[in-house]
Amino acid sequence: MDHDALRDWSKRAADWAHDYHAGLRDRPVRAQVAPGDVAARLPAAAPEAAEPMEAIWADFEALIPDAMTHWQHPRFFAYFPANAAPASMLAEQLANAIAAQCMLWQTAPAATELEQVVTGWLRDALALPGDFTGTIHDSATTATLAAVLTMRERALGWAGNAAGLAGQPALRLYTSAQSHSSVDKAARVAGIGQENLVKVPVRADHGMCPDALVRAIAADRADGFSPAGVVLCAGGTGIGAFDPMAECIAAAHAAALPVHVDAAWAGSAMICPEFRHRWDGVADADSVVVNPHKWLGAQFDCTVQFLRDPAAQIRTLGLKPDYLQSPGAGEVTDFNDWTLPLGRRFRSLKLWFVLRAYGLGGLRGRIRDHVAWAAELAQALAALPGVGIVTPPSLSLFTFALDAGDAATQAMLERINADGRVYLTQTRHDGRFVIRVQVGPFDCTRADVMTVRDVVAELMR
């Protein structure tokens, strides 16, 4: 294939994409295939000779779409959304065509400066203070790892980077049991260790107890550990729990510890002023991560980390071998010093397109609808005999279960997903198996959301 053929096939791909999206409501949301089905239909080895594009395309249509779970389906209420707004898809096409490595200002001046400008737009839209600066990572997992590595090096006076971790004091990190597993992964990968990630007890509302945080830090210091930092949760993945930001950040700072806030999912909702009370106090954090690739519509991958002072993270992650030296040092920003991989995709383009093509008003309207419809759906489910809401809506996320117990709830979830009209997933809460519902697809309607009630009602009969 050459670039002339690419032009023709791209047009065909655009038509295919249009029809795929137009037909999504007629497809089951979750792939209805068994493990191994797809692999069994593929040849064992790559072809020696070039194959015609027609054949490759025909196999794509025959093998792939029906064996995918459709994340852009308007009735995808599982996990969290991974929204790809049409304007984001267009920006990705253009970024794909340019296919640049955006590691240094010099290797991608427009991408670097656009990243600075649009993360500033997003910061202001979230009402974060103007002294935060943003950078774009591939995922919240790596943003949190970057923050935890920085906590580690700060606590060790950068001796970990220089000499390795052997013989260093045992570090401690603090988070709550409601925080995402990416915090556990960061503790492991950063060489701090799972056992040194302290899960601070939570209050009745499932937010971290600030007094318990104070006690845990003091007890660790008395026992000879070196506390390194606190990771707070603003919208946990299980049930949408929020730690009390102001009290926990004050406690951490009183103990001279930096704070990273994981708002990967819920952060997008903070473009709406009426939801910001949920993370009151976040302005004093040292680092905040938000995933526009979840609820906002800038497709995966697009994670924004806001840093109060990037110097410590740059000192932790930045490296300038001879072959990366470029003119303008000190004058320009080389974003590879802020994030883990050297290579960086042109991710700011899709955020720019999304913010402009829908406007903050359009994005707020969607999020407000989702929150309102989640509340309405929770009420409708609660009205069904034998169904109970376990955790009330936190923004657009709530959980429910059947009165008949865990086995019945689990069987109900399997039947809901086999039915295919909607897709839901599970978590455990206070020892119970519960079904999660999050309302977040970019173009879902109220009717799409209320389909959950219809499906559950039918299956209860």
Q: Which residues here bind ligand PLP, judged by CB under 6 A?
A: 80, 139-141, 180, 182, 235-237, 262, 264-265, 291, 303
Tokens 């202001």 belong to 124
Tokens 């080895």 belong to 45
Q: Which is nearer to ligand PLP, 111 or 266 (CB)?
A: 266
Residues 176, 200 contacting (CB under 8 angstroms): yes
Shortest Å distance, C-beta 127 to ligand PLP = 20
Nearest-angstrom CA–CA distance, 431 and 389:
15
Shortest Å distance, C-beta 343 to ligand PLP = 18
Residues 184, 146 contacting (CB under 8 angstroms): no
Q: Which is nearer to ligand PLP, 83 or 451 (CB)?
A: 83
Q: Which is nearer to ligand PLP, 74 or 236 (CB)?
A: 236
Q: Of the candidates 129, 100, 97, 131, which has an alpha carbon nearest to the alpha carbon of residue 114?
A: 100
Q: Which is nearer to ligand PLP, 27 or 180 (CB)?
A: 180
Shortest Å distance, C-beta 404 to ligand PLP = 30
3-state DSSP call for residue 395?
A: coil
Nearest-angstrom CA–CA distance, 310 and 360:
27
Q: Judging by DSSP bridges, how do beta strands 197-200 and 397-402 pair with one another?
A: unpaired
Q: Of the candidates 316, 330, 326, which has an alpha carbon nearest to the alpha carbon of residue 286?
A: 316
Shortest Å distance, C-beta 182 to ligand PLP = 4
Nearest-angstrom CA–CA distance, 257 and 379:
42
H or E element at residue 260: strand 259-262
Shortest Å distance, C-beta 300 to ligand PLP = 7
Shortest Å distance, C-beta 288 to ligand PLP = 12
Q: Which is nearer to ligand PLP, 74 or 267 (CB)?
A: 267
Shortest Å distance, C-beta 49 to ligand PLP = 39
Phi–psi pair at 367, nearest 5 degrees: -65, -40
Nearest-angstrom CA–CA distance, 433 and 416:
15
Q: Which is nearer to ligand PLP, 181 or 319 (CB)?
A: 181
What tokens does 385 get? 């005999």
Tokens 């709530």 belong to 398
Instruction: Please give the span between the terminal C-alpha atoms of the chain, in angstroms, as a whole number.
Output: 55
3-class SS shares of the chain: helix, strand, coil, % to 5: 50, 15, 35
Shortest Å distance, C-beta 174 to ligand PLP = 16
What tokens does 355 get? 């913010």
Shortest Å distance, C-beta 237 to ligand PLP = 4
Shortest Å distance, C-beta 442 to ligand PLP = 16
Shortest Å distance, C-beta 303 to ligand PLP = 5
Q: What is the DSSP letter of 308?
A: S
Q: Which is nearer to ligand PLP, 205 or 403 (CB)?
A: 205
Shortest Å distance, C-beta 138 to ligand PLP = 8
Q: Which is nearer to ligand PLP, 251 or 395 (CB)?
A: 395
Residue type at 357 in one-letter notation: A
Q: Which is nearer to ligand PLP, 208 or 387 (CB)?
A: 208
Q: Which is nearer to ligand PLP, 80 or 279 (CB)?
A: 80
Q: At what angle do helices 109-125 and 348-382 cross, to 10 degrees?
A: 30
Q: Which is nearer to ligand PLP, 264 or 422 (CB)?
A: 264
Q: Cis omega before residue 369 (within 30°)?
A: no
Residues 349, 298 contacting (CB under 8 angstroms): no
Q: Judging by DSSP bridges, how do beta strands 226-233 and 259-262 pair with one another?
A: parallel
Report in angstroms the alpha-carbon separations of 404 from 377, 410, 411, 446. Answer: 21, 11, 11, 29
Tokens 């455990």 belong to 428
Q: Which is nearer to ligand PLP, 86 or 238 (CB)?
A: 238
